[in-house]
Amino acid sequence: MRPEMDPFALRSARVHEAEGRGRRAFALFQAARHPGPLIWILPAHIPEVPMLRGLPQGVGERLHLLRPSTEMDLLWCIEEALQAVPVGLVIAEAQKPLSFLAGRRQQLAAETGRTTGLMLIQTGAGSNAAETRWQCQPLASLQKTSADSTLHCWNTIKNKSGTCKNWTINWNGTSTAFHMVSEARERHEPAQPPR
Amino acid sequence: MTLRSGNSDHLHCVTPAAIAQGLSRGMALADARALCPDLATRPADLAREAAALAALCRWAGRYAPMVARDGADGLMADISGVPHLFGGEVALRDDLQSRLEQSGLAANSAVAGTRGAAHALARHGGGIVPDGRLIEGIGHLPIGALRLDYDTVSGLGRMGLSRIGDLVPLPRAPLARRFGQGLVMRLDQALGQYAEPVTAAADAPHFGVRITLPEPIGLQSDVMAALERLLARLCVKLSQHHMGARRVRLELRRVDQGAAQVEIGLARPMNDPARIAALFVKGVEKIEAGFGIDALRLTAPVLESLAPEQISTHHDVQREDELADLLSSLGNRIGFDRVLRLLPAESLIPERSHLVAPAAYSAPEPVPPHTGPLRPITLFPPEAVTGPSGNPPARFRWRRMHFTTLRATGPERITPEWWFDDPAWRNGLRDYWRIETKQGPRLWLFSTPQTAHGSPNWYVQGEFA
């Protein structure tokens, strides 16, 4: 698939990172687009758990939650899950900054198992080994008419095999369908005279 | 002893003194108390009773090679060829009775030529029926002693037949036509015209294997090789009995009398040696071999039934197996209670609208399609907001951030489930609002309008996509 066709396709068998307030929404968006079992690794002390009734269609049945108690177990779980062949997507919420060593080990594990990984990191706490890094923010839609639009601003701030770009999309969190929001542009050229 | 069946208590066991007062087994406890106001009762424990009977069954092996259970409260021993060792049938029975009495058990015993006759006599006084005089020996017993159902006994009673001796001279064909083959069969069994051997119950299969080595081993590869041999034997035994192991324990004995133990859990019942062996690798690495290991023992302490499956190379089945392997290895490291799965539940309360269940002990369930108001993607315990203004709040602070409400959808009123006393829901019903903020996040706020004093409190409980 050409990258222009689907800007949000994560390169398979690599580990990616997402930061910002909207990172969990981005992870669920990706989970809905990846077939196969899903592993969500969530440290035991984090109070936010996915709510089954609010997840996109088809994600709840495939989702497995791991609640490791220590950061060491978390990293071990990530590697073990990435090495497993049948898993579709591994989502992990790391609490501490990922070292380059940990990031590189994850990339190797992902290549062994041909599994895609997505690390939800604290802002600025990623590792240099990540394939892409996404900055995700929920956006308020200021137009009065769009009562139920759920805008997201998803930007690539690091891309090892492509360019960084910004997108604003409207995704309502129930399916894999989304709408691109075109950017408002100021007109430079003079307007055509009315005919 | 009393036993609760249905919603009433019945007498399960009575002492001889109580029988003298007119009580009997199966009588309702209320009736018994009316007869005997100072009755002392204890609840019966059927499991411990069965265990005690099993122990007694083992002990009775000193009188006969074949001992079987006879109903819930009896033992049947085949003593053919044995009595002369004790000095005759009478001496044997005296010995048995005195030993039971010494240990504080009130028991009745009978010796007879057939199983049915012995059963009947033991429950109606006990005694010895000499060889060849069965009819005289049990003829005076009531018909109920023949192991018949209540309808047959009462039907015979209405015809004026109350003793076994009354039945013997009657023609068989009309009896069988009227009361069924069961009556004739029981009569024949008691009189020895229909064989009824005493068979001991089969031993429960033991899922444990061991190996003793002529030379001590210390290398990890040697231990794994020995483990593979043990596993192959254990798994054959498991699959013969259609069982799968949920936990497998390897005990190792060192030459210096030290011991080591490795135990693994499995995400689902399994009897495939190669896949179980893979889970042992990590544990075997950590064993301290010392001067060497010379004996290994492998047991499966927790089992589950595992029906044989069609062997398939289908992609889905393979993937399921691989996923189960992954869950096993994860569970063995971080604990099976930390490998979880979300299951839908029938409740409108957000916290109880799904169950978080261990993945190893639950199967995925389809999530019903969502209807009604939107639900957030993440849920957390309610966190109070500070400085809310208005209803719904136009501005508030939460987690040290300022938020300004752009759009509010709601309220959605959720009332507590009165049949559960949930401390989190003690302050009454909740009005849920979906608040879109100017800052971006879309939050799930609720207020508790039923709180006793002051303005309603506002809490954040979830975040939308």
The model's pLDDT over A147-184, given as tens digits with 9 standing for 90+, comes to 667 889 999 999 998 888 888 888 888 888 888 887 76
Residues of chain B with C-beta less than 8 angstroms from the C-beta of A173: 374, 377, 464-465
Sign of CA dihedral B133, B137, B139, B142: negative
The whole-chain average pLDDT of chain A stands at: 88
Find where tokens 């409740």 sit.
B347
The answer to the question of residue A70 being in a domain is yes
Q: What is the mean pLDDT of residues B135-157?
A: 83
pLDDT of residue B455: 61
pLDDT (tens digit per residue) in A2-39: 445 688 899 999 999 999 999 999 999 999 999 989 99
Given an 8 Å threshold on Cβ–Cβ distance, is A173 in contact with B370?
A: no
| End-to-end Cα separation, chain B, in angstroms | 62
Burial label for B72, CB within 10 Å (0-12, 13-18, 19+), is exposed
CB contact under 8 A, B338 and A36: no
Query: What residue has token string 């809490």?
Result: B459
Residues of chain B with CATH 3.40.1170: 2-44
Report the half-sphere exposure of A99 (CA within 13 A, side-chain side). 6
Instruction: Identify which of B341, B429, B350 has the alpha carbon closest to the alpha carbon of residue B382.
Output: B350
Compute the average pLDDT of residues B256-265.
Answer: 90
Give burial (CB, 10 Å; 0-12/13-18/19+) of B109: buried
d(CA B56, CA B45): 17
Q: What is the residue type of B426?
A: R
Which B residues in the span 441-460 are in contact with A, Cβ-Cβ below 8 Å? Answer: 441-442
Q: Which residue range forms the structural domain that includes residue A28?
A: 15-133
Structural domains counted in chain A: 1
Contact B380 A64 (CB under 8 A): no
pLDDT tens readout for residues B68-93: 888 778 888 888 888 888 888 888 88
Q: How far apart are CA A86 and CA B316, in angstroms?
A: 9
Instruction: Please state the rounded mean pLDDT for residues B206-212.
Output: 91
Of A25, A61, A139, the CB nearest to B367: A61
**pLDDT, tens only, B364-390:** 888 888 788 889 999 999 998 988 888
Is the pLDDT at B236 greater than 70? The verdict is yes
CA dist., res. B111 & res. B93, Å (int): 8
Q: How far apart are CA B395 and CA B393, in angstroms?
A: 5
3-state secondary structure of B10: strand
Tokens of B323: 């996923």
CB contact under 8 A, B463 and A47: no
- What is the C-alpha to C-alpha distance for residues B109 and B92, in angstroms, rounded to an integer? 11
User: In this structure, is residue A183 part of a structural domain?
Assistant: no
- The interface residues of chain B toward chain A in range 266-295, judged by CB-CB distance below 8 A, are none
Residue written as tokens 């006990």? Answer: B126
Closest residue by Cα to residue B210 from B250, B247, B248:
B250
pLDDT of residue A155: 92
B344 touches A: beta carbon within 8 Å: yes
Partners of residue A150 in chain B, C-beta under 8 Å: 442, 464-465
Q: Which residue of B326, B333, B375, B442 to mutate against A (max A Cβ within 10 Å)?
A: B326
Question: Is A22 inside a domain boundary?
Answer: yes
Nearest to B139 by CA among B119, B181, B167: B167
Nearest CA of chain A to the CA of B371: how many Å? 9
Do B86 and B111 meet the contact criterion of CB atoms below 8 Å apart? no
Closest CA of chain A from B381, distance in Å: 7
Rounded distance between C-alpha atoms, residue B412 and residue B181, angstroms: 69
Residue B350 contacts residue A54 (beta carbons within 8 Å): no
For A107-129, what is each residue's pLDDT tens digit?
999 999 999 999 999 998 889 99
Positive or negative: CA dihedral B220, B226, B232, B237: negative
By three-state DSSP, how is residue B64 classified?
coil
Asked if residue A49 belongs to a domain, the reply is yes
- Average per-residue pLDDT in chain B? 86
Q: Give A72 or B369, the one with higher predicted confidence.
A: A72
- Res. B41: pLDDT tops 50: yes
B2-44 CATH choice from 2.60.40, 3.20.20, 1.10.8, 3.40.1170 = 3.40.1170
Alpha-carbon distance B199 to nearest alpha carbon in chain A (angstroms)? 51
Residue with the bigger pLDDT between B26 and A82: it is A82
Residue the block writes with tokens 């209807």? B371
Q: Which fold has domain B208-333?
A: Dna Ligase; domain 1 (3.30.1490)
Tokens 């009454």 belong to residue: B428
Check CB contact under 8 Å for A49 and B356. Answer: yes
Q: Which residue of A has its CA nearest to B444?
A: A54
Measure B442 CA to nearest chain A CA, in Å. Answer: 8
Binning chain B into helix, strand and coil, the percentages to the nearest 5 are 35, 30, 35
Summarize chain A as % helix, strand, coil (round to 5).
25, 25, 50
B369 to chain A: which residues are within 8 Å by CB?
57
Phi-psi region of B362 (alpha: psi -120 to 50; beta: other; left: phi over 0): beta
Q: Which residues pair with B409 in a beta bridge?
A: B434
Say yes or no for a CB contact (<8 Å) between B350 and A51: yes
Numbered ranges of CATH 3.30.1490.100 in chain B: 208-333
Q: CA of B304, closest CA in chain A: separation in Å?
A: 23
C-alpha to C-alpha distance for A117 and A34, rounded to whole angstroms? 11
Q: What is the number of other CB atoms lying within 10 angstroms of the CB of residue B303?
A: 17
Confidence of residue B25 (pLDDT cuts 50, 70, 90): confident
> Which pLDDT score, from 0 to 100, does residue A185 have?
65
The enclosing domain of A47 has a CATH number of: 3.40.50.300
Instruction: Give the containing element (helix H, strand E) for B316.
Output: helix B315-334
Does the pLDDT at position B453 exceed 70?
A: no
pLDDT for the residue A108 = 95
* Number of residues assigned to chain B: 465
Of B326, B339, B342, the CB nearest to A60: B342
Q: Residue A79 above 90 pLDDT?
A: yes
Q: Measured between alpha carbons, how far is B457 from B68 in angstroms, rounded to an integer? A: 70
Assess contact for B14 and B7: CB atoms under 8 A. no
Closest in A28, A57, A140 to B406, CB measured: A140
Phi, psi of B231 (to 5 degrees): -60, -40
Among candidate residues B48, B37, B45, B35, the one with its CA nearest the CA of residue B2: B45
Could you tell me which of B323, B339, B351 has the C-alpha nearest to residue A67?
B339
Contacts of B371 in chain A (CB under 8 A): none
The dihedral of CA B420, B426, B432, B436: what is its sign? Answer: negative
pLDDT band at B192 (very low <50, low <70, confident <90, very high): confident
**CA A84: distance to chain centroid?**
20
Q: Which two tokens stand for residue B242?
A: 């259609």
Please tell me which of the candidates B329, B354, B440 has its beta carbon nearest to residue A21: B440
Residues 6+ positions from B386 with CB-CB distance below 8 Å: B396, B397, B398
Query: What ipTM was reported for this prediction?
Result: 0.86
